[in-house]
Amino acid sequence: MIDMLNKIIFSTISIMNDTAMWLVLSFLVAGALRNILTPERFQRALGNTKMSSIIKATVSGMFLPICSCGVIPLGVSMYYSGAYLGPTLAFMTATPIINPVAVLLTVGLLGPKIGIIYIVTGIIAPIIIGIIANKYGGGELKLSGIEEGAGYINLEQDEEKNWLDKLGSGFHWAFLDLGFAVSKYVVPGVLLAGIILSIVPEQFIQSFLGEPGLISLGGIAVLSGVMYVCAVGHIPFIAALIAGGASPGTAITFLMTGAATNIPELISIYKLIGKRAVILYGSIVTVISLIAGYITNLLLLPGFKPFVNLDRSKSYVKLANSLIIAAPEGVKYFCSLIICILFALAVWPKVREFLIEK
């Protein structure tokens, strides 16, 4: 029991350290952009159901090397600034799946064949999700009262003329409004992810990864969809399994669902956007990744042989590493502390109310 508890604690800390830096970076980006990409501009650019809005959101997400947890503040900020559900979910899908680092590592370690399939699927998936979300978003298609600037996150525009004051106001909003809203659900999600990662044995995962059948792909799609997987850190793991005989379709399925979905993200979407949004997002990502993996095994790469080209792999990995933000451990722990403090401040009013009642 003690060993399992220690494993859960260390897994949770590890996930939090991997996640927190991206969250803090996203808060800074959201705060800096708040007075540039104002709600009015978001409404004009992404506040509609046009295909062009979904493509804009997809393309903008493709060039951000941010993981699925780090994209939460940016996606929520877009939605609360006037973007429709389709572009919002398209952005949140494209960013972790098809960012430059993930693409380079996939091509370098898994080979150009799997890399091309992954890239094409990673571009198509956000567009499909955006179209379906716009069509079936219902009451969550846009934030209620967005025209008047209402909502959970304060959208009032700053009146200060000084750009430094506006920047400070943006950071204040990003951490004390957006940060409160996001951290309140990310921290419990990270804890739950740490529990799952500690309980589910690696042999169980590898047994699914080694089989090319539909049941295997379905199992790994669901499993990787709820686990926390770093947007790029899992690619070498997949490459090792592929070299050991795992099916290529499994790589596509795991790369898609592992990068695009995890418990902290799903909880945040559910709490900050709505139940319909998280059902659409989670189910469509899982189904698309499952179909892509099955087609890869059955039609595209039926006689696949593992990719081995050490010189080319090294060059791709070197280029990918140059794009990765490698923070010192101290910085990771500091960012984790910031997120935990935001979480504590966000939940304290409810805790205080409960204590007073008792």
Number of separate domains in the chain: 1
Q: Which helix (H) or strand (E) holds 78?
A: helix 71-80
Tell me if 113 sits within 8 A of 301, measured CB to CB.
Answer: yes
Model pLDDT for residues 40-49, shown as the tens digit of each residue:
676 777 888 9
- CA separation for the pair 235, 224 (Å, rounded): 13
pLDDT at 129: 96
Model pLDDT for residues 231-280, shown as the tens digit of each residue:
566 777 777 777 767 788 888 888 888 777 888 888 999 999 999 999 99
How is residue 210 written in tokens?
């080694």
Instruction: Give the structural domain span for 125.
Output: 2-357
Q: Which of 262, 257, 267 is nearest to 183 (CA)?
A: 267
Task: Indicate the pLDDT class of residue 207, thresholds 50, 70 and 90.
Answer: low
pLDDT at 33: 78
Model pLDDT for residues 58-95, shown as the tens digit of each residue:
998 888 877 777 888 989 988 988 899 999 999 999 98
Model pLDDT for residues 158-201, shown as the tens digit of each residue:
454 576 777 788 888 889 888 998 999 999 988 888 887 777 65
Task: Indicate the pLDDT class of residue 52, thresholds 50, 70 and 90.
Answer: very high
Decide: pTM greater than 0.75: yes
- CA separation for the pair 309, 81 (Å, rounded): 46
Model pLDDT for residues 138-158, shown as the tens digit of each residue:
999 988 755 443 344 444 444
